[in-house]
Chains A and B, each alone.
Chain A
């Protein structure tokens, strides 16, 4: 064990001299198979020439091929910022497309004896240009004006968006009220790698801020900065790391969309009507086939395009969703912003243990509610339950024992039930499809007891635990009247305790 070629137990070439004693702990040496591999630790290089510079010295190595260096980070808290310059050509282009479809294309046509025809005569081209060039200038001017009008900056704990060139209007948004931040990449903006930033706020008309459009990297930085400040951290905090939770494969999505009773029935109806039409030459069956096809497009193809590549990830900043084939959406819902969750199990899905998750987030309203209310289009039930336990921490929906509704109720089966623990209120109803609605006591807005005339005859009542408007309505239906009132009181008390315990934090990192 001496000499220039054996400085260590393995030598400079990673070869252990055959006569050397085996290092302790690795077992007997295997002759002729090289050094024994350690069972743990980083993999060591088996061969390293002495002249090779170690990677930790010297300047950072450029990887092979051309990779653009990332631009220096933009500080949105310093100075005033504008939208990406490519917004101007994009808006002008969209305007010109509409112009061409409505007015420009007919200008190229000339009326002849054989109807409208395309003639490549110079006067036709001149006529087209005389109309088109002013339109193009107007479009460019309007797009330039629109770009010039919008300025934004992060000022302390507020996002300030200024609008207008001559008459200025500034909106100041306290970031503690942010409910969700979405990055949307419509198909049109892919050319310039642009991204739309939507900041959803709680309550009222115009409760969203839309910045249309930012560069891709700038949008992500803005989101990171807004989330960091909303969480109560310094604005230059890098984006929180995320932990992938579920990735929906295309096949699973398609299968789940088709594997539903109404969809299967519609498919059968479509093919039966098609075969009938071909066999008996009965054109009237088109009245059945076409609506069936339209229904299929709406129920299968539209969600398929919308939710393709659905990915759910958890991060300290909340739940992150990414999805979309043509229009990519990236949603971030910070902790405590999910008001209520619904676990939806259609009849066939229940048989194979699939489920869908819907959420109520206070910021989303109207059309955006429909676009953004799905938390998981389809996943195994246990994944859905795990995600629910992540959103309402420390809860297990399945562990909450549900009391069935009163036996006096008129119902198809005894599936209806409700239950509660100290953190959440759970209600379940529906047959053969079933949905389970969950609200955290800390998020309940009010508790209501209602008795409709039929229920009054039977001595029953329904208890509602109200959340902001959304797809999830939590209600314990058809309880006995006295029990219902007891539920109201206990729910109010639990909600109070949950709120006092600090069940909600506007700034989740503090």
Chain B
């Protein structure tokens, strides 16, 4: 019996916390501490502790993006930084002398370094896994997200690649559902893998399609 946090003990109604095979059968009544689900009731269920919340679960491992993805973001940041630094330095040098220009360049360099670090963090935060009935994606550096998209709900899947992405041989796979908030996209996949993933998702979606 896991010990819960300081949350008030509440009688657990049918199902929010524990996770029976739906339709759920009778549930154990009585106070159950909030926190990890009642593992004793359904021992076959994965147990989610707080540090397991962003794991794929059911013995799966996250599929990671290509190592080229952070480099694509870094090159993008550098490509933007050079003209911004040049134009800003020119303007500040005209107005406030060399010190202003140097300060601006220093700020842009700092911003670029931060962008490079964030690119690495974003790469590490990204992961996706194809489960039996849904695709599960996690990402986010500042706001962490975990998105579960059922295959039957995908209206279409598309693969896009910008100029730089194409040159580096990566592509972005995006899943569209009727909900705009879904926002499930996987950037930085090797191009061949991206189109394979799209075909797999499209096929699974076709098999399970439910309409709207």
A-side residues, CB < 8 A to B, are: 176-177, 179, 202-203, 362, 400-401, 403-404, 406-408, 418-422, 445-453, 456, 459, 461, 464, 466-469, 473, 480-490, 492-499, 504, 506
Contacts and interface: CB of A to CB of B under 8 A. Distances in A.
Given A202-B212, A203-B178, 17 more contacts: A176-B211, A362-B178, A403-B16, A406-B7, A408-B6, A422-B14, A422-B15, A449-B147, A450-B145, A453-B142, A468-B180, A483-B37, A487-B16, A489-B46, A494-B22, A495-B150, A496-B133
A439 to B, nearest CB: 10
Interface stretch (B49-57, B72-80, B101-109): B49-57
Interface of B: 5-8, 10-19, 21-24, 34-37, 46, 48-50, 52-54, 57, 133-134, 140, 142-150, 152-153, 155, 177-182, 184, 210-212
B5 A466 contact: no
Contacts of B143: 450-453
A450 B179 contact: no
Given A418-B16, A459-B50, A448 B23 contact: no
Contacts of B12: 403
A174 to B, nearest CB: 11
4 interchain residue pairs of minimum CB distance: A401-B13, A466-B179, A445-B179, A485-B53
A462 B50 CA distance: 13
B10 A466 contact: no
Contacts of B140: 450-451
Contacts of B177: 445-446, 466
A504 B211 contact: yes
A468 B140 CA distance: 23
B5 A480 contact: yes
29 contacts: A179-B212, A403-B13, A406-B7, A407-B5, A407-B7, A422-B14, A422-B22, A445-B153, A446-B177, A446-B181, A447-B147, A449-B145, A450-B145, A451-B143, A451-B144, A451-B145, A453-B142, A453-B143, A456-B144, A467-B179, A468-B178, A481-B50, A485-B52, A488-B146, A489-B57, A495-B150, A496-B133, A499-B210, A506-B211
Contacts of A492: 133-134, 148, 150
Contacts of A446: 147-150, 153, 177, 179, 181-182, 184
A483 B35 contact: yes
Contact of B48 (A401, A420, A485): A485
Contacts of A418: 16
Contacts of B212: 177, 179, 202-203, 362, 468, 504
A498 B150 CA distance: 12
Contacts of B35: 480, 482-483
Contacts of A176: 211
A418 B37 CA distance: 16
Contact of B148 (A400, A403, A448, A498): A448
Given A421-B15, A464-B181, A466-B179, A496 B150 contact: yes
B137 to A, nearest CB: 10
A459 B7 CA distance: 13
Contacts of A468: 178-180, 212
A480 B23 contact: no
Contacts of B53: 449, 461, 481-482, 484-485
